Chains A and B, each alone.
Chain A
Amino acid sequence: MRDTPLVQSHGQRIACDDGVVDLVWVGDVLAIALAGGAVQLVGAGSEMSVAPHRRAILCACVHPDGCSVVTGGDDGFVRRVALDGAVSDLGCFDQKWVHALTSSAESGVLVAAVGRDAMIWPRGSAAPSHTFGFGSTIGGLSLDAKGKRLAVSHYNGATVLYPLVAASGRVRLERGGSHLACTISPDCGYLITALQETGLHGWKLPAKMQLSMSGYPAKTRSFSWSHRGRWLATSGSVNAVIWPFTGKTGPMEKEPLVMGGRADAIVTQVAFHPTGEHLALGHSDGAVSLVRIDDGAAVPIDAPALSITALQWSKDGHKLAYGDEGGRVGILDMTVRA
């Protein structure tokens, strides 16, 4: 074990005034979405702060154009922040909370969860073109790798549809209870939801065969698929719980890999390296680490502080950014040689 956190020799730390809600890489620039409504843009040698929201930011994602950030707030606004700091409106939903966002560069779609509605922006659109309504508030959104199919979790199950088709048919997946975050596998072969009671529920698509994964002490809030969708890493336990998605039946009747645990802390965020089989972990005690899937070897990246709320690799996998409840942000640079 090293005494000094790796981030000190191989990266940088940034102190923000508010808790970190989300982190978004736009090329080499890191956008830090903060609980107070501001977005901090950190590039090579430059730093800028803008305030797209009057109140808390609840979610953020990269814009489908690949060169700006989208934020959703509890002020009812969806806004686009360009790298020069220019802010423009994408939608205003009269005091409703915008609580989830997802986008796809491939299909150009942008989706926002606003109460019980999923708002859809087709490529290049500055306002939503259509809406899909659900019977209860949306728990989570997930697009497949091509951005063609959208999974929406809600009470009593989840729905899969084609977001760009306004009259899209819906595949309904039923299971009682409240379904929170969800994730669709890159090939759209599986949909997994996180349950309010803790644990995961899943469906193999298109057959709707159901699977259930339990044993989590806390709610799963973070999912990450490995390169090519072989593994699904999940938060909500002392260790990262990593389910195999190989073969015809995926994780059914298989044991997950468990690794990277820390005593007295829960894994809160997981993020697979975009090309390698390394998994970055954020913990509830504020520590950040990197584990190798092959053998479980772990490298500590940063020391404990407050609970980690966001963890993102840059698209090229050269940089790992993380942020915590107290506004501490770190960027690990994998290209630095010690």
Chain B
Amino acid sequence: MSRIPVTVLTGYLGAGKTTLLNRILTEDHGRRYAVIVNEFGEIGIDNDLIVDTDEEVFEMNNGCICCTVRGDLIRIIEGLMRRRGKFDAIIIETTGLADPAPVIQTFFVDEHVRARASLDAVVTVVDAKHILARLDDSHEAEEQIAFADVILLNKTDLVTSTELETVRRHIRAINAQARIHETQRCAARIEDVLERGAFDLDRVLEIEPNLLGEDDHEHDQNITSVSLSSEREIDPKRFMPWLRELTAKQGRDILRLKGIIAFPDEPKRFVVQGVHMLLEGDVQRDWRHDQPRISRLVFIGRNLDRTALQQSFDACIALP
């Protein structure tokens, strides 16, 4: 049974989420989306596949201190699966003030949901005009950028090119790995936003490590990205225990991590993803022949010590 792709749509109030949703639901792209929203009223479209919900977060009793999950999503996805075949993908809209972590964690911890649906991407709509003020006064705005795989930098017509450049730099400082699409009235191509699949993980391979030095922040940014790489292969016997220990200790501060790792004598790429203390990893498709076997690992979070992380990652290099 193939898993239904799920896109999580976040963004601060007024950034343009509803505009984007309305575009997705009205454009003729031949795909059918089930949409889970918080406010029915905001969407002007009558669609059988729009489900209203309250954002009900609860804490798992699994000894993992920051593991909060959206119980409503578990129930709704189970319910939607009864209508399998009536839709191709699911979009979950979160309220502007929501922390995206519980939504993402739901797809890591619930076996039933995992078996039927897979998280495709977190898409964050950012208002170019107001985002700098929001970053100053709300940590939600910052977290929404930090958790994103795709960022729609919207309302670019309302700022000057200098202002836009400042915004870009701030976004990059928080999240070095997300793809950024600049838009007006959320006029993005649907295929840039939805059902991107493994494509976005490849993005990890494109990031230049250490592109952003610690000193680049003119702003007192809380959340930063650290990108590590190694041209030498990584020893799985060292790497996995290291990553588990790291996330157990610093999981609260690590919002997301993503990596593509080359293990010795393994023709396939090992792909690892994490949210806070939750990790999942698997060997996926082969490395491409024209692709150098460089392992890369990106962390997005608070209080990340780049030097210490690189050193401990280097300690996982396989000995010849």
Contacts and interface: CB of A to CB of B under 8 A. Distances in A.
B61 A21 contact: no
Interface in A33-50: 35-36
Interface in B37-80: 40, 48, 51-52, 54, 56, 58-62, 69, 71-72, 74-76, 79
Nearest to A176: B61
A156 B72 CA distance: 14
Contacts of A55: 48, 83
A195 B82 CA distance: 22
B75 A196 contact: no
Contact of B112 (A56, A97, A156, A219): A219
Contacts of A21: 82
A110 B284 CA distance: 51
Interface string A97-141: 101000000000000000110000000000000000000110000
Given A35-B82, A74-B79, A176-B59, A136 B71 contact: yes
B264 to A, nearest CB: 33
A58 B82 contact: yes
B40 A155 contact: no
Nearest to B70: A178
A195 B58 CA distance: 12
A137 B72 contact: yes
B71 A35 contact: no
Contacts of A74: 51, 79, 82-83
A177 interface: yes
Given A136-B71, A155-B71, A219-B112, A178 B82 contact: no
B254 to A, nearest CB: 22
Contacts of A96: 52
B195 to A, nearest CB: 23
A57 B74 CA distance: 17
Interface string A36-79: 10000000000000000011111000000000000000100000
Contacts of B82: 19, 21, 35, 56-58, 74
Interface in A70-97: 74, 95-97
Given A176-B61, A178-B71, A95 B52 contact: yes
Nearest to B62: A197
Contacts of B52: 95-96
A305 interface: no
B40 to A, nearest CB: 7
B61 A177 contact: yes
A74 B76 CA distance: 10
Query: Which of A35, A196, A219 has the most B CB atoms < 10 Å from its CB?
Result: A196
Given A95-B52, A137-B56, A195 B83 contact: no
A35 B69 contact: no
A99 B75 contact: yes
A99 B58 contact: no
Query: Which of B48, B51, B61, B62 has the most A CB atoms < 10 Å from its CB?
Result: B61
Given A177-B59, A195-B61, 14 more contacts: A19-B82, A35-B83, A56-B83, A97-B51, A97-B76, A97-B79, A137-B71, A137-B72, A137-B75, A155-B56, A177-B61, A196-B58, A196-B69, A197-B62
4 A-B pairs with the lowest CB-CB distances in the bound complex, closest first: A35-B82, A56-B82, A177-B61, A178-B71
